[in-house]
Every structure is written in C-alpha cells, then in structure tokens.
C-alpha cells in the first residue's frame, strides 16, 4: 500500500445496541473519508450482562462500573489491534484512535434534570497503552459542559463528507436510537435524535424468537402493525420536545415498552414487532417532514440500513424524496459512526471544533475529547 499522503486513523464505536465494537481504519487525507479496513469485535456475553446492569437506575455498584470500564478498555484495544492487522499497518502508521466508548448513562439537559451528565466507559488509558497509539476519547462531556445535549455528534462529520452544494440532503442514522442530520445545500446544518431505532426491535425478537435481530425485518413484514398501539407509543413525551434533543435507553427501554403493552396483551408478538418497526419509521419520517427545508435526497446509515422492511417503509413514507444507504456516497452504512469518531479524533488533534451548537444546543463551538498519548516504552 502506498502510504504517501495518507492520514490513517482508527475509529472505535459501541452504540446503544451493544452488539459489538465497530472498528475501522480510515484514511482522512484530502478532506475525504476512505474506509481501509473494518472489523466487528465481539463483547463477551458476561461483560454485556454486567454493562447492562449499569444502564438503568438501580443498585449501581462502583466496583461493577470500574471493572466494566477496565474490561471494555481491553476489548476496545483488541478491536483496534485486530483491525490494524486487517489493514496491514503498524501502530506507527496510525495518527490516532478515536474511541467513543460505551454509553452507560445519558442524562442531557432537560426540565427534570438539574445536574445533566453523560458517561461513557472503555478506559482510553488502556487503549493507548495496549495499542501504542495516541487515543482520543470522552468526546461528549465538553459539549455538555457548554450546556449542550452532547448528542448527536455525527452531524459535523456528515457535513464534512456528505454535504452537497446542489441538493438538500438528510442523513438518517438508525442504530439503537435514531437521529437525523439536515444538510441543506445552503444554510445551517441541523440534527437531533428522533427516538427509537433498532433497540426495541432487537429486544422484542430476542425475547420471543431468541434472535439477536430481525434479519431484513422478515418477522415484522409478515405481520400488520396495530394503529392503536402505534398511536400510544407515539405519545411519548420525548417526541413532542423541540430540538435540540437527545435520548437513549433511559427513555426507550423494555420496562417502558412493557408498561405500554399492558392494555395490548391480545396482540401477537409478531404484530408488536410490526408496530415497533412502524414506530421507528414514522418517528423518523415525522421529524424529517417537520423540517422547514424540502429534502431531495435521504441517506440511511447504521444497522437499520440493513433492515429491508424498514428501508421499504421509509421509502414509501418519504416519496418523492430519494432514499438510499450511505453506500451511495462511498461509506457503507455499518461503518459511518466509526468513521465519524476517527474524524473527531482528527479534529481534536488539530485543535478544531467537533460539535455543532445548532445541533447540540451548546453555547459555542469547542474542541471535544481528551488526548491520551501512546505508551512510551
């Protein structure tokens, strides 16, 4: 590989779905983002179970938090070292790692949150030490220190690599939670979380089919959604809040869903799955249609882009706008977020802002994250 004029970074991401660590080597030379190598690194089941115990309020244990932080740091380091091998590169070829970590609690500014905070684990000290690569991490808290939501952060990256001077575009990331980025040909970039993505769908099929996810949305597509249940789900207070806004497992989780289903125990599990798919699709579409700009092109990324039934539903609901995955723009949908955190690491090292105040609500632009230098042997 000709490494002249290359800018290699590694992006590491584990989202709300916690289905593994996405690791990617990204070449960020000349203001572009080119995927060099990718690797999906498993998180051991016992560690997943421990981390999930930290997601919701309860008998939180500092020992558990510290142990998970250390274990996950080791997993992230292994993910980085493995993708490095896939790329045929050495640690000295990589400028930096951008590690998102794993969010265990996200309490953004709101009327009922007097002391907002966001917490990600996966110790970057361990990552830097085990990889011998400078690591940038803890991206979200600086934005929150400035009064922002600390999420979503990807819109700045979307604007850098997906913007068009001719077309009004939207990028929709469907991970555990869904969020949108508006990229007008001219004007201000906007973005916010729209509500649930894959998380409720994955939880439901895990319970009833013992599957990690609904492959292609096949189970949901075999059933019809229930309009009454859908209407009740869409009454969630988060969906009525104005942007800037962000959400997570704290609001959209199985406990909440079980409560909503109490009056719908006559519905089949398949019908509920179809309704959850409609819930994800319609909350995304409602958010896009509420924007003041007529959108020409919509690009989907995240795991939801692989759900054929969900993509078909979005295409039907958003006609005449064109709906594609971000693969049409050169980055396969599963790796956009990992690429985003590689790019954010680059911004941090360059002393450049990584947030967009119009998206997060922060008081101003700021450099994000902390820098953890590589281990000096």
Are 63 and 119 members of one domain? yes
Provide φ and ψ at 182, rounded to 5°. Answer: -95, 120
When pLDDT is averaged across residues 12-35 and rounded to a whole number, the result is 92
Using CA atoms in the order 13, 14, 19, 23, what is the torsion angle rounded to 10 degrees? 20
Are 270 and 294 members of one domain? yes
pLDDT at 2: 58
Are 121 and 51 members of one domain? yes
Are 142 and 166 members of one domain? no
Are 206 and 85 members of one domain? no
pLDDT at 15: 83
Are 82 and 204 members of one domain? no
pLDDT band at 351 (very low <50, low <70, confident <90, very high): very high
Total domains in the fold of the chain = 2
Please write the tens of the pLDDT for every residue from 166-188: 999 999 999 999 999 999 999 99
Residues 6+ apart with CB under 8 A from 355: 142, 143, 148, 153, 156, 362, 365, 366, 368
Please write the tens of the pLDDT for every residue from 315-335: 999 999 999 999 999 999 999
Residue 308 falls inside a structural domain? yes
Please write the tens of the pLDDT for every residue from 85-133: 999 999 999 999 999 999 999 999 986 789 999 999 999 999 999 999 9
Residue 377 falls inside a structural domain? no
Which has the minimum average pLDDT: 49-63, 133-147, 227-241?
49-63
When pLDDT is averaged across residues 214-237 and rounded to a whole number, the result is 98
Are 323 and 357 members of one domain? no
Residues 6+ apart with CB under 8 A from 144: 108, 109, 116, 117, 118, 150, 362
The whole-chain average pLDDT of the chain stands at 95
Are 284 and 159 members of one domain? yes
pLDDT at 17: 74
Are 258 and 343 members of one domain? no
Q: Please report which helix (H) or strand (E) contains residue 300, including its range.
A: strand 297-301
Residue 1 falls inside a structural domain? no
Inter-CA distances, 120 with 50, 52, 140, 281, 293, Å = 14, 13, 9, 28, 34
Q: Which of 367, 372, 370 is nearest to 146 (CA)?
A: 367
Its domain, for residue 364, covers: 8-150+336-372
pLDDT band at 55 (very low <50, low <70, confident <90, very high): confident
When pLDDT is averaged across residues 71-79 and rounded to a whole number, the result is 98
Residue 4 pLDDT > 90: no
pLDDT at 87: 98
Global pTM reads 0.95
Number of other CB atoms surrounding residue 183 within 10 Å: 23
Please write the tens of the pLDDT for every residue from 279-313: 999 999 999 999 999 999 999 999 999 999 999 99
Are 343 and 324 members of one domain? no
Residue 2 falls inside a structural domain? no
Q: What is the CATH number of the domain that holds 282?
A: 3.30.420.40
Pair of tokens at residue 125 = 């000290």
Residue 145 pLDDT > 90: yes
pLDDT band at 46 (very low <50, low <70, confident <90, very high): very high
pLDDT band at 19 (very low <50, low <70, confident <90, very high): confident
Residue 85 falls inside a structural domain? yes
Residue 67 falls inside a structural domain? yes
Are 84 and 38 members of one domain? yes
Residue 133 falls inside a structural domain? yes
Integer Cα distance of 313 and 323 in angstroms: 10
8 Å CB contact between 104 and 120: yes
pLDDT band at 58 (very low <50, low <70, confident <90, very high): confident
pLDDT at 110: 81
Are 140 and 184 members of one domain? no
DSSP H helices, 146-253, are 154-162, 199-209, 218-221, 227-233, 237-240
Residue 3 falls inside a structural domain? no
């Amino acid at each position: 590989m000709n490494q002249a004029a290359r800018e290699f970074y590694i992006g590491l991401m584990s989202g709300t779905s916690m289905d593994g660590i996405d690791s990617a080597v990204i070449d960020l030379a000349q203001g572009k983002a080119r995927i060099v190598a990718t690797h999906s690194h498993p998180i051991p089941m016992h560690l997943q179970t421990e981390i999930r115990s930290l997601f919701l309020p309860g008998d939180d244990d500092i020992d558990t938090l510290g142990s998970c932080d250390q274990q996950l740091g080791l997993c992230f380091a292994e993910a980085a070292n493995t993708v490095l091998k896939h790329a045929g590169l050495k640690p000295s070829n990589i400028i930096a790692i951008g590690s998102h970590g794993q969010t265990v609690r996200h309490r953004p500014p709101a009327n009922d949150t007097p002391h907002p905070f966001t917490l990600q684990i996966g110790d970057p000290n361990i990552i830097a030490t085990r990889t011998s690569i400078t690591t940038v991490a803890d991206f979200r808290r600086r934005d929150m220190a400035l009064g922002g939501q600390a999420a979503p952060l990807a819109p700045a990256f979307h604007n850098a690599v997906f913007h068009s001077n001719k077309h009004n575009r939207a990028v929709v990331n469907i991970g555990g939670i869904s969020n949108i980025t508006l990229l007008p040909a001219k004007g201000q970039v906007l973005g916010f979380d729209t509500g649930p993505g894959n998380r409720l769908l994955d939880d439901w099929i895990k319970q009833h089919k013992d599957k990690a996810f609904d492959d292609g949305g096949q189970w949901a597509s075999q059933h019809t959604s229930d309009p009454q249940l859908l209407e009740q789900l869409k009454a969630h207070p988060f969906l009525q809040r104005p942007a800037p806004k962000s959400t997570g497992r704290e609001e959209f989780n199985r406990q909440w869903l079980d409560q909503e289903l109490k009056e719908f125990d006559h519905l089949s599990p398949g019908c509920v799955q179809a309704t959850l798919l409609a819930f994800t699709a319609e909350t995304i579409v409602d958010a896009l249609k509420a924007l003041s700009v007529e959108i020409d092109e919509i690009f989907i990324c995240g795991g939801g882009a692989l759900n054929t039934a969900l993509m078909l539903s979005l295409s039907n609901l958003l006609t005449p706008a064109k709906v594609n995955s971000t693969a049409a723009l050169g980055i396969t949908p599963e790796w956009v977020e990992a690429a985003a955190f590689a790019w954010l690491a680059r911004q941090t090292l360059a002393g450049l802002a990584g947030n967009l105040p119009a998206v997060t609500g922060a008081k101003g632009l700021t450099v994000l994250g902390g820098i953890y230098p590589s281990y000096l042997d």
